[in-house]
Each structure stands twice: as C-alpha cells, then as structure tokens.
DNA sequence: ACAATAGTTAAGCAATTGCTTCAGTGTTGA
DNA sequence: TCAACACTGAAGCAATTGCTTAACTATTGT
C-alpha cells in the first residue's frame, strides 16, 4: 500500500489524460471489459491496456480476470480521495473569504 | 472563453503536478506573490512562473500585477468544476450499485 | 541616478508520455 | 484439434514536460 501523497499523485496524473477520463466516464456507467473500454477510443488495444494499467496503479479502477476477459470497475473510494483533496482547498479558501467579509462588515459598523 | 471539455483538460493536467498542487495548497490559505509561492519549492523562480502560467491558463488561479509584484489567488469556481466532474462519475457508479442492491434484495424476497 | 527587487522570456536539454507495431500467451467455441 | 478471441509485453519513436541558465524589462527604495 502506498502513502496518501504518492497515491494522490498517481490519481491526478491518471485523470489528466482525456482518454483515461473517458475510460473512467464509461466505467461510471457500469463494468466493462478491456475491448469494450477500447471500442469508442481511436487507438490500438495495446494503448488502451497501457492506460488501463495506469488507472489501476492509481487505484481509480479495479480489474479482475476471468478466463480471457479482464473486467474493469471503478473504485469509488479513490475518486472520493481526489474529490476530497480539491474540496478541502476550496473550502479553506471560501472560509477565508467569509472571515474577511465578517471583518469588513465589522469595520464598517465602527464608522 | 474555452469550452468545458478543454478547460477540464487543462485543470486536471494542471493538478497532475505535485509542485502545482503545492502551489494551489499554499494559495488555499490566502493570496501570495510569485516569490512567496516559490519560496518553499526547490526550483528556480523561472520554473515557478512557468507552473503559475499553466495554473492561470487552466483557470484554477487568477493573478493581477500591481507595480512589480504579481499577486495570485485561487479561483474556487474552477476547483468546483473539477470536483463536480469527479463527483458525477462517483455518484453515477454508486447509484448503479444501489439499484443493483435493490434488485438483489427483491430477487431474494421472491424465493 | 542607480542598485536592488520582482518578475519575464527564450533557448536548450534530459526524462517522461502516449502512442505504434509486432510478436507473443492463454482461453474458448466449433 | 485448432482457429478465433481477448488480451499482454517489449521495443521504438515523436511530442511534450519540467526543469535549467542567462539575458532581459519594469518598478521601487535610497
């Protein structure tokens, strides 16, 4: 198991590529095989497998092979971690703005 | 103004780099000048400016120059857009899981 | 006026990324 | 048994990325 920072790094890096985001998008509608994931993408199956391996390494996608088909599904916990990182920063900023607003309101009262 | 998909692309790409995430993290605690952003980073000021330009192009950060100092701040709207993309996919998946759970529960009742 | 400050820009370079093709492996249906 | 199927892995290659240094511009304090 990797520590949070490294895992976060892999996740955001994984999400940075449009093809990989399209794969995540497809998987959000239900599990799919590698070929099914590849079908809408204008690239070789091999390229898709390479993307998929990155997605799996990042923890965003989990896969299991049964016979000759690898079935992929989203790992919502990982998505939540990325979501959480962004959310924390945004909230920190917005709380700061609120405090600033309060301060300005108070200062105005004192005129 | 760019369309959503391209903007999202730039944002996730911007967030993929640890140095840039550190800059966003710093900015979530309040505005900062370029030099202040650079201070904790082990790289040249020039490199920081290049990262900053990417962050600004992605819409995650807004900057304004007064005199010779460029002051940077977070654009929460952009953060919310990235957050939203992830959230939608995760929710789609989780709703799907719920429906599946309901179906299985019903099927069990019918035995 | 001029030195220090704050940032910008361009050129260059090594490492990484996102593909490709090709040559496999293991699985399955006829 | 054996051809089609569903991947997998390695090698190679062009484009992009993340820096560096060096030369620059514009502002400010003394």
pLDDT tens string, chain A, 111 residues long: the values are: 667 788 999 999 999 999 999 999 999 999 999 999 999 999 999 999 999 999 999 999 999 999 999 999 999 999 999 999 999 999 999 999 777 776 666 675 555
User: From CA A11, how far away is CA B16, in angstroms rounded?
Assistant: 8
Instruction: Give the pLDDT of residue A102.
Output: 62
Instruction: Give the pLDDT of residue B2.
Output: 62
- Answer yes or no: is B89 CB < 7 A from strand C: no
- Neighboring chain B residues of A89 at a CB cutoff of 8 Å: 24-25, 28, 74, 79
How confident is the model over B79-100, as a mean pLDDT? 93
- pLDDT tens-digit profile of B76-89? 999 999 999 999 99
User: From CA A70, how far away is CA A45, in angstroms rounded?
Assistant: 13
Instruction: Give the pLDDT of residue A101.
Output: 73
Q: Distance (Å) from the C-alpha of residue B70 to the closest C-alpha of chain A?
A: 19
Residue B70 CA and nucleotide C3 C1' are separated, in Å, by 22
**Looking at the predicted structure, is the pLDDT value of residue B65 above 70?**
yes
Using a pLDDT cut of 90, give the percent of chain B over it: 81
Task: Assign domain A4-109 one CATH number from 1.20.1250.20, 3.10.180.10, 1.10.10.10, 1.10.3720.10.
Answer: 1.10.10.10
Say if CB A31 and CB A79 are below 8 A apart.
no
Say if CB B37 and CB B27 are below 8 A apart.
yes
Query: pLDDT class for B102, splitting at 50, 70, 90?
Result: low
Instruction: Give the pLDDT of residue A62.
Output: 98
Q: Between these two residues, B100 and B60, which has the higher pLDDT value? A: B60
- Residue B60 tokens, joined: 């995650």
User: From CA A95, how far away is CA A20, in angstroms rounded?
Assistant: 33
**Summary mean pLDDT of chain B:** 92
**Strand B69-74 to A61-66 pairing:** unpaired
- Residue A77 tokens, joined: 């916990």
What does the domain layout of chain B look like in residue ranges?
Answer: 4-109
SS3 sequence of B40-77 = CCCCCHHHHHHHHHHHHHCCCEEEEEECCEEEEEECHH
User: From CA B24, how far away is CA B19, in angstroms rounded?
Assistant: 9
**Looking at the predicted structure, is the pLDDT value of residue B100 above 90?**
no
User: Is the CB of A15 less than 8 angstroms away from the CB of B89?
Assistant: no
Residue B68 CA and nucleotide C20 C1' are separated, in Å, by 48
Contacts of residue B93, defined as CB under 8 A and 6 or more positions apart, other chains included, come to A27, A28, A73, A74, A76, A79
């Amino acid at each position: 198991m990797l520590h949070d920072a490294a895992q976060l790094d892999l996740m955001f890096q994984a999400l940075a590529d449009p093809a990989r985001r399209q794969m995540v998008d497809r998987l959000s509608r239900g599990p799919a095989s590698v070929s099914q994931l590849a079908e809408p993408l204008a690239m070789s199956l091999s390229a898709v497998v390479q993307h998929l391996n990155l997605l799996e390494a990042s923890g965003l996608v989990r896969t299991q092979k049964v016979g000759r088909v690898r079935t992929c599904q989203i790992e919502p916990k990982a998505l939540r971690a990325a979501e959480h990182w962004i959310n924390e920063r945004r909230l920190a900023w917005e709380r700061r703005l609120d405090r600033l607003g309060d301060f300005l309101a108070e200062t105005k009262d004192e005129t």
